[in-house]
Chains A and B, each alone.
Chain A
Amino acid sequence: MQQDNFKKNIGITLGVITILGVLYMNIFWGKNSFAPVGQTLGNTSGVNPSAPVVPVSKAPTPATTPKKVTVPKPTIYYGDDEGEGGYPVSQTPPAPAPVTVTPPPVTVPKKTNASVYKDGTYSITVSYMSPGGYDQLGVSLVLKSDIITDGAVTDMAGDNRSARYQDGFISQYRQYVIGQPISGLSLSRVSGASLTTRAFNDALTQIKVQAKA
């Protein structure tokens, strides 16, 4: 009799611990796991009993959304060289006319005295429920003096549908390039659109003349 009670007590204790553990995970760790995407569930408790319990990596504290990085629009200079240029740099080129390059306007974030975020790389695996099932997306950010200096998203989608959406999201994450003058970079060579010959350049000049007429 005592043994049965004992087993019953252990069983109850383990059960309680498990439930508490699940609740703890859900409440403190599982916010990302259980937000159903565009779906309303039958129960309103906010916890989906059939979803797997997965701990989510802790976000950097404080857990606010990362600052949005403004990408400035670069100033574009169009070559006036009628299609020819880009001479191989190992030949001594004619000295190019000095080009005044106005640096593009850069948004300088206001700096506070103390750094709010600790410098470093932060990684998070975001888990979510999609109509295709449970899925994950990897995000990593590099913070330096409170500015996001680099970042990457990693496709971790298990389901094909999610993979397409993730690819779409990832492909939206872009880096933008800006030109630097060739002189001053000690280049051996330049690669780009194939250099043209005089014959072609003459033809280009002709059609431009005709277009103006």
Chain B
Amino acid sequence: MIQYNFEGIGTKWQIEIYQDLSAEEKNKILSEIRERIEIFDQNYSRFRDDSLVMQMSKKAGIFALPDDARPMLELYYDLYKITNGFFTPLVGDILSDAGYDDKYSLKQKKELKAAPSWEEVIEYEHPDIKIKKPAILDFGAGGKGYLIDLVAGVLEANNISQYCIDAGGDILYKGATPIRVGLENPANTKQVIGIYNLANGSICGSAGHRRAWENFTHIINPKTCSSPTDITAVWVVAETAFLADALTTCLFFVPAKKLTNVYKFEYILVRKDHSIEKSANFKGEMFIIK
């Protein structure tokens, strides 16, 4: 079993490959993975001034997006419509002004303004994106999941078909036997509140307790400009990490039934009173108080 550990896009990655590789192959694949992540970061990171999204935030104009932007923008737009604007890339300015900026100042800088509508800012016909008013696009809600899928693509292109990619707790797994994934207790990171046996597919979790400051977490409602307090954690299981990741954010803001007849997924969410709400098809085993 080969294991890679490194940091990327602001979190810790651990990748396991369930087959033997020569030292040469092992190094080649690692550098391909890291390069793929670096390119993604260069394009979509809010946390570096030289990125494409930060350039797009400075003044209106037409920009050419890379090929991998297309599936991302398409799902983002679909979810934007389905959630009535609660899921949107136009939260970048709110997050930054609240303190989650490229310097990690974690201090609210100015009064927060509700996110503009998609149509007010974006006109997209791949590969051209017209930014009508300068705005910071943030792809944090689904970008990590999407990148996990892209990294899986790198492995598959190298004829690796059994692996586990874990980016800070968002997981994509392809293997012979299911793995036991603990669901972290949002009130105590040394505990879990349940276990999910993951066969091929992805489980992604979202919770605010690691990135919390003042009254905020990195999950901010684009209409009220405040962080949800009622729901403390959400997990989604889906075929791809992109879908699972994006849906966890959606479920902080809209009821599941808005999404269940459009996408195939399982979910569970935890409220601050420790009660849970889950889909009928959720296969995890939770530790319930009797």
Contacts and interface: CB of A to CB of B under 8 A. Distances in A.
A176 interface: yes
Interface stretch (A21-29, A40-48, A79-87, A126-134): A79-87
B264 interface: no
B165 to A, nearest CB: 11
The size class of the interface chain B forms with chain A is 35 or more
Nearest to A186: B180
Interface in B198-215: 203-213
B193 A179 contact: yes
B233 A88 contact: no
A108 to B, nearest CB: 11
Contact of B192 (A76, A180, A197, A206): A180
B11 A177 contact: no
B90 interface: no
Nearest to B219: A193
Given A195-B11, A195-B12, A204-B213, A180 B287 contact: yes
A213 interface: no
A192 interface: yes
Interface stretch (B110-118, B126-134, B168-176, B220-228): B168-176
A84 B210 CA distance: 7
A193 B211 contact: yes
- Chain B contact residues: helix, strand, loop or mixed: strand
A188 B168 CA distance: 14
A142 to B, nearest CB: 12
A102 interface: no
Given A84-B210, A91-B14, A177-B194, A149 B290 contact: yes
Contacts of B188: 76-79, 179
Interface string A149-191: 1000000000000000000000100111111111001111111
A89 B194 CA distance: 15
B289 A187 contact: no
A197 to B, nearest CB: 5
B194 A79 contact: no
A37 interface: no
B181 A194 contact: no
A212 B179 CA distance: 43
Contacts of A89: 182
Nearest to A148: B290
B10 interface: yes
A113 B13 CA distance: 57
B270 A192 contact: no
B182 A187 contact: yes
A197 B210 contact: no
A191 to B, nearest CB: 4
B97 interface: no
A189 B144 contact: no
A89 B184 CA distance: 12
A178 B169 contact: no
A207 B286 contact: no
Interface stretch (B19-27, B63-71, B150-158, B273-281): B273-281
Contacts of B276: 174-177
29 contacts: A71-B289, A74-B274, A78-B187, A83-B212, A90-B3, A175-B286, A175-B289, A176-B274, A177-B185, A177-B288, A179-B187, A179-B188, A180-B191, A180-B287, A188-B164, A189-B164, A189-B166, A189-B179, A190-B181, A190-B184, A191-B235, A193-B186, A194-B167, A195-B12, A195-B168, A197-B10, A203-B105, A203-B106, A207-B213
